């Protein structure tokens, strides 16, 4: 028993139980995040459709912020878990401190973008004065007050890296619930608060993020005993930053590609009608209920694979992969069923007009066909990252979103009309599936099998 106590649970606990204990808190917190996404837009939609469109057009910038932070977090996560697996505790502490430094640097980038780029970003997309005004206010607040999300994401990754996903769940949930409570108060001016409309939605968001960051910092200091935060022993190391970003940069670019894709898709759709852009924004909010639990599963899976790779336990790695794919596919099939059977109910949440219903119902049904393959693709990309092959995830993402999805959507917009554009999603997912399957076979042969059959 003493021997087991010495090793982190990621090296000894049975995989199904470990995956559940690591992932379930993350899945719950991701579902709360998804709920916040939907509630945010639901309240904004009560103002008018232009308000919903403005928030939809701001999504690429919000996604870019999250992409840079979560990508950096993936690099920190993989390096920290591997260092713990190799029993290099001093290095793990250095990695954690570099995480805080990089969070601060990320915030400065978006502070500058918020001050100088908000109006220009919306002016490129629309000439509608109301959408332009709403959107500029929203983006400015999100970026200038982005210190909350910057530190929240990195501090939560530190908790996840050491297997303390329960605390990470609490911070995300408290942050999202703060946002949900403040949304109607700040948007509509309840309880004597001034009516801020779309700016109120942004203010509620950044307040929730700041609360979560403070809570995550507290948990790391008080409860994360495997890491020691000390500025006295800290010195900036180019080598550690390079190691973090060797995994992190492909992940950042991969997630940022989503911003490019969304921006491009918004441009294609708004040429038909701003309602089509609102439908696309609503789809992104609702699909988060399906995708977020899979991302939560991945957040639990990545440190398990990284730790056991450091500890050379290949059977545990393969069992983790098999279980993760099974659960991800099951979640996606449930999501597919909901999108096929009740698209009208989903759109109704957002105060949908008749035009929005007529565009949205077939859109949700067509796009959700891509869910059949998406679960496998998402898990595969995270496996590549956990084993230090983030560049393979990057290739899949670039091909799926930039080489297939956007060009096919543009081609269909010119030749077959608005409804055909939605078919670009299943087509892109099919191409990604073929790539993921090929890369996963190669990774198994070259990285996992040579670890040997011990343990």
Structure confidence at residue 4 (pLDDT): 40
Classify residue 369 by its DSSP letter: G
Residues 180, 35 contacting (CB under 8 angstroms): yes
Structure-model confidence comparison of residues 258 and 326, the more confident one: 326
Residues 218, 157 contacting (CB under 8 angstroms): no
> For residue 227, what are the contacts with CB-CB under 8 A and spacing of at least 6?
80, 92, 93, 96, 158, 162, 220
CA 150 to mean position of chain CA atoms:
13
Enter the tokens of residue 431.
């191409």
Q: Model confidence over 381-395: pLDDT tens digits?
A: 888 878 878 788 888
Structure confidence at residue 452 (pLDDT): 65
Structure confidence at residue 228 (pLDDT): 74
Q: Model confidence over 139-190: pLDDT tens digits?
A: 999 999 999 999 999 998 888 777 777 888 889 889 988 998 999 999 999 9
Give the model's confidence band at 108: pLDDT under 50 very low, under 70 low, under 90 confident, else very high: very high
Mean predicted confidence (pLDDT) in 25-51: 83
Q: Is it the case that residue 1 has pLDDT exceeding 50?
A: no
Q: Is it the case that residue 34 has pLDDT exceeding 90?
A: no
Structure confidence at residue 8 (pLDDT): 65
Structure confidence at residue 249 (pLDDT): 82
| Percentage helix, strand, coil for the chain under 3-state DSSP, each rounded to 5 | 85, 0, 15
Structure confidence at residue 2 (pLDDT): 39
Return the minimum-mean-pLDDT range out of 149-153, 308-312, 370-374, 435-439.
308-312
Mean predicted confidence (pLDDT) in 335-342: 94
CA distances from 452 to 44, 338, 430, 445, 446 (A): 55, 43, 33, 12, 12
Structure confidence at residue 150 (pLDDT): 93
Average pLDDT of every residue of the chain: 86
Q: In the chain, what percentage of residues exceed pLDDT 70?
A: 97
Mean predicted confidence (pLDDT) in 121-129: 87
**Nearest Cα to Cα of residue 56 among 250, 257, 286:** 286
Mean predicted confidence (pLDDT) in 424-452: 89
Q: Is it the case that residue 396 has pLDDT exceeding 50?
A: yes
Give the model's confidence band at 3: pLDDT under 50 very low, under 70 low, under 90 confident, else very high: very low
Q: Is it the case that residue 454 has pLDDT exceeding 60?
A: no
Structure confidence at residue 428 (pLDDT): 96
Structure confidence at residue 232 (pLDDT): 74
**Nearest Cα to Cα of residue 10 among 425, 230, 304:** 304
Q: Is it the case that residue 455 has pLDDT exceeding 50?
A: no
Q: Model confidence over 82-96: pLDDT tens digits?
A: 877 777 777 777 778
Mean predicted confidence (pLDDT) in 108-128: 90
Mean predicted confidence (pLDDT) in 318-336: 91
Beta strands in 262-305 (DSSP E): none
Residues 73, 153 contacting (CB under 8 angstroms): yes
Mean predicted confidence (pLDDT) in 353-380: 93
Q: Residue 220: how many CB atoms within 10 A of its CB?
A: 22
Structure confidence at residue 74 (pLDDT): 83
Structure confidence at residue 318 (pLDDT): 86
- Round to whole Å and give the CA distance between 339 and 30: 19
CA distances from 391 to 69, 428, 445, 448 (A): 18, 19, 17, 17
Classify residue 319 by its DSSP letter: H
Mean predicted confidence (pLDDT) in 230-246: 80
Return the minimum-mean-pLDDT range out of 14-28, 206-220, 329-343, 424-438.
14-28
């Amino acid at each position: 028993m003493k021997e087991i106590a010495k090793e982190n649970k990621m090296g000894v606990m049975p995989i199904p139980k470990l995956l559940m204990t690591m992932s379930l808190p993350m899945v719950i917190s991701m579902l709360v995040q998804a709920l916040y996404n939907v509630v945010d837009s639901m309240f904004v939609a009560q103002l008018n459709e232009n308000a919903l469109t403005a928030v939809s057009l701001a999504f690429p910038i919000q996604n870019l912020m999250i992409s840079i932070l979560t990508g950096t977090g993936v690099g920190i996560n993989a390096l920290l878990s591997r260092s713990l697996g190799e029993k290099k505790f001093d290095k793990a502490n250095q990695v954690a401190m570099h995480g805080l430094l990089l969070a601060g640097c990320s915030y400065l980038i978006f502070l500058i973008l918020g001050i100088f780029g908000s109006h220009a970003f919306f002016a490129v997309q629309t000439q509608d004065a109301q959408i332009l005004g709403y959107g500029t206010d929203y983006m400015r607040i999100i970026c200038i007050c982005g210190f909350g999300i910057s530190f929240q994401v990195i501090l939560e990754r530190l908790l996840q890296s050491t297997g303390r996903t329960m605390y990470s769940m609490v911070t995300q949930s408290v942050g999202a619930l703060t946002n949900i409570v403040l949304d109607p108060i700040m948007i509509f001016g309840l309880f004597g608060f001034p009516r801020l409309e779309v700016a109120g939605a942004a203010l509620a968001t950044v307040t929730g993020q700041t609360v979560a960051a403070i809570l995550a910092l507290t948990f790391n200091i008080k409860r994360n005993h495997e890491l020691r935060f000390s500025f006295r022993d800290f010195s900036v190391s180019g080598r550690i930053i390079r190691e973090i970003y060797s995994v992190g940069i492909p992940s950042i670019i991969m997630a940022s590609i989503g911003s490019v894709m969304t921006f491009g898709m918004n441009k294609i759709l708004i040429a038909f009608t701003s309602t089509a852009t609102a439908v696309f924004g609503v789809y992104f909010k609702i699909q988060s209920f399906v995708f977020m639990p899979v991302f939560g599963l991945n957040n639990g899976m990545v440190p398990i694979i990284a730790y056991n790779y450091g500890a050379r336990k290949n059977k545990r790695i393969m069992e983790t992969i098999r279980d993760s794919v099974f659960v991800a596919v099951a979640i996606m099939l449930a999501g597919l069923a909901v999108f096929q059977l009740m698209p009208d109910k989903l759109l109704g949440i957002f105060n949908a007009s008749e035009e929005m219903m007529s565009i949205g119902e077939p859109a949700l049904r067509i796009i959700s066909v891509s869910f059949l393959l998406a679960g496998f693709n998402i898990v595969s990309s995270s496996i590549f990252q956990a084993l230090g092959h983030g560049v393979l995830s990057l290739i899949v993402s670039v091909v799926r979103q930039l080489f297939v999805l956007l060009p096919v959507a543009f081609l269909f917009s010119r030749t077959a009309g608005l409804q055909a554009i939605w078919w670009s999603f299943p087509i892109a997912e099919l191409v990604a599936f073929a790539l993921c399957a090929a890369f996963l076979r190669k990774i198994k042969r070259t990285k996992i099998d040579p670890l040997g059959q011990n343990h």
